[in-house]
Amino acid sequence: MTENLLLAFGLTLMAGLATGIGSILAFFTSTTNTKFLSFALGFSAGVMIYVSMVEIFVKAQDALVSAMGVKLGNWITVAGFFGGMLLIAMIDKLIPKQGNPHEIKKVEEMSGPVKDLKDPALLKMGTFTALAIAIHNFPEGIATFTSALHDPGLGIAIAVAIAIHNIPEGIAVSVPVYFATGDRKKAFKLSFLSGLSEPLGAVVAFLFLMPYLNDVMFGIIFSAVAGIMIFISLDELLPAAKKYEEAHSSIYGVIGGMAVMALSLLLFI
């Protein structure tokens, strides 16, 4: 149990701090590898969609049906699934437009003389973007932590998928903050801090959900996690992959992500 806890916290921390990788890419590369990023985001979406519908939703359903009976168990599973979607949709709705983390940024935007930068109007946008990403990462942290706690293999897959999708979010924070201040360290710091809400979500899950983690609570959390991950895939990952699109790299990524996830699940049967 202790080993699973440490793994769950470690995976959540790794996934959250991937925003820092995006920030580092923005500072130390001169161009955005759009084909790779499109494929990677599609891959992340493929992993999330497949594992949500084939594994997480089914496990939630089994737990709830076992604890509450066939009819009520199925109803609660579906309610939890759409409840998770509603939660993340409400979070999106409450975030100001100028802080929308879905706005794609490219590394090329970091180029140019520093004297042409320092636009204070962008500092607000960068700060709102960091806040928006932090809010998004919180339920993702709960999802990663609870999944890893129940099934380490599943937790690893989810953590990798979330880490991939956090990389462009790190770029989205760094670019406007750098333009606003001309300070790379400040841009990296804000990007790094926005990812810390993911392990914070894990801590909250540990403190407030663990004491009540019976079959019913587990089933409700897992069904909500499935809904959250499907929403993130459809609302964030696939549109972002399309914006970076070159040829059909994003859909190849989706198929590849599903295939890898399917193979890994088969190997653990």
Q: Which two tokens stand for residue 238?
A: 């696939």
DSSP-based helix, strand, coil % in the chain, nearest 5:
85, 0, 15
* CA distance from start to end of the chain: 21
Cα distance between residue 114 and residue 43, in whole Å: 36
Tell whether 165 is in a known binding site. Answer: yes
Q: How far, CA to CA in Å, does 123 sit from each of 20, 91, 103, 113, 132?
A: 18, 22, 15, 18, 14
Q: CB within 8 A of 35, min separation 6: which ones?
A: 244, 246, 247, 249
Q: How far, CA to CA in Å, does 222 sit from each of 84, 123, 152, 188, 262?
A: 9, 37, 14, 33, 19
Tell whether 236 is in a known binding site. Answer: no
Tell whether 100 is in a known binding site. Answer: no
Cα distance between residue 6 and residue 49, in whole Å: 26
* Helical (H) or strand (E) element with 87: helix 70-94
Tell whether 137 is in a known binding site. Answer: yes
C-alpha triplet 31, 134, 181: angle, nearest 5°: 50
Tell whether 103 is in a known binding site. Answer: no
Tell whether 169 is in a known binding site. Answer: yes
> What are the binding residues?
137, 140, 165-166, 169, 198
Annotated binding site for Fe(2+), which residues? 137, 140, 166, 169, 198
Annotated binding site for Zn(2+): 140, 165, 169
